[in-house]
């Protein structure tokens, strides 16, 4: 199984809502990532978890809150988002310090 | 700081060969990966260079020159399905798993 599964695929939320994005992998990967991608732009790194601990936070606003409950799951909690946060949110995983990362299909988020 | 540069767009015809360049400046460098992303799809890993030289994987090859902070992806025998965005992604210092994507090159393959 070389799949990274993200749910939901699409999400529309208001600026006062709280929602969560979920990501799951069963490849035994110990590094997991969140990226944000705007149209016609590269994926932009947000967070990296290594062995279930947050190792990189790329100065992401606190309205995005990551969580890694176990080695297979990664969540991104969303609160008080702005319309400019509308984007494709990609989850990825890899073996620790390994160059090949596997990406999920993403959650397309619209903030209204 | 960090900077990554790729041409924004490249157009080629089926059967041709195309080279997509990447120049990088990073605070730490462990190797250079290449990813492909079709419109609406997820990025998928193509190749990785940790050492100088050419790595060949089927129709795709990737080259790295660490002394020049430069790499390229070479696509041969282009097919219509190769139309996609291509990103170089330097990997920082080994253990940190910091995978940053370049600006991306949109490749359009024409009949």
Contacts of B105 in chain A (CB under 8 A): none
Mean pLDDT value of segment B28-38: 93
Q: What is the pLDDT of residue A106?
A: 97
Mean pLDDT value of segment B19-34: 91
Distance (Å, whole) CA A85 – CA A110: 8
DSSP labels for B20-51?
Answer: EEEEEE-SS--EEEEEEE-TTS--EEEEEESS
Phi, psi angle pair for A18, to nearest 5°? -120, 130
Contacts of A90 in chain B (CB under 8 A): 42-43
Task: Measure the CA angle with vertex A58, ends A23 and B95; round to 5°.
Answer: 75
Q: pLDDT tens-digit profile of A39-54?
A: 999 999 999 999 999 9
Distance (Å, whole) CA B54 – CA B61: 7
Burial tier of A97 (Cβ tally within 10 Å: 0-12, 13-18, 19+): middle
Q: How many contacts, defined by CB atoms under 8 Å, are there between A and B?
A: 59
Would you say residue B22 has pLDDT above 90? yes
Which of B33, B99, B104 is closest, CB to CB, to A33?
B99
For chain B, what percent of residues have pLDDT higher than 70?
A: 95
Mean pLDDT value of segment B2-27: 93
Which of B96, B98, B103 is closest, CB to CB, to A42?
B103
Would you say residue B83 has pLDDT above 80? yes
Would you say residue B29 has pLDDT above 90? no
B11 neighbors B111 (Cβ within 8 angstroms)? no
Asked if B87 is an interface residue toward chain A (Cβ–Cβ < 8 A), one would say yes
Q: pLDDT tens-digit profile of B57-80?
A: 899 999 999 999 999 999 999 999
HSE value, Cβ hemisphere, 13 Å, CA-based, for B66: 11
Shortest CA gap A110–chain B (Å) = 15
Would you say residue A70 has pLDDT above 60? yes
Query: Cβ separation of A105 and B95 shorter than 8 Å?
Result: no
């Amino acid at each position: 199984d070389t799949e990274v599964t993200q749910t939901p695929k699409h999400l529309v939320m208001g600026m006062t809502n709280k929602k969560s994005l979920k990501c799951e992998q069963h490849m035994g990967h110990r590094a997991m990532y969140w990226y944000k991608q705007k149209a016609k732009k590269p994926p932009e790194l947000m967070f990296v978890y290594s062995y279930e601990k947050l190792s990189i936070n790329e100065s992401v606003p606190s309205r995005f809150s990551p969580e890694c409950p176990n080695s297979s799951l990664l969540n991104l909690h969303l609160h008080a988002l702005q319309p400019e946060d509308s984007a494709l949110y990609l989850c990825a995983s890899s073996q620790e310090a390994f160059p090949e990362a596997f990406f999920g299909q993403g959650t397309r988020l619209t903030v209204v | 700081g960090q900077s990554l540069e790729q041409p924004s767009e490249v157009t080629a015809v089926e059967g041709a060969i195309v080279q997509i360049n990447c120049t990088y400046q990073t605070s730490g460098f462990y190797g250079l990966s290449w990813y492909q992303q079709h419109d609406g799809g997820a990025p998928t890993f193509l190749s990785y260079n940790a050492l100088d030289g050419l790595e060949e994987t089927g129709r795709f090859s990737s080259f790295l020159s660490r002394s020049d902070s430069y790499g390229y992806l070479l696509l041969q025998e282009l097919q219509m399905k190769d139309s996609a965005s291509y990103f170089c992604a330097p990997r920082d210092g080994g253990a940190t798993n910091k995978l940053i994507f370049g600006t991306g090159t949109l490749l359009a393959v024409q009949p």
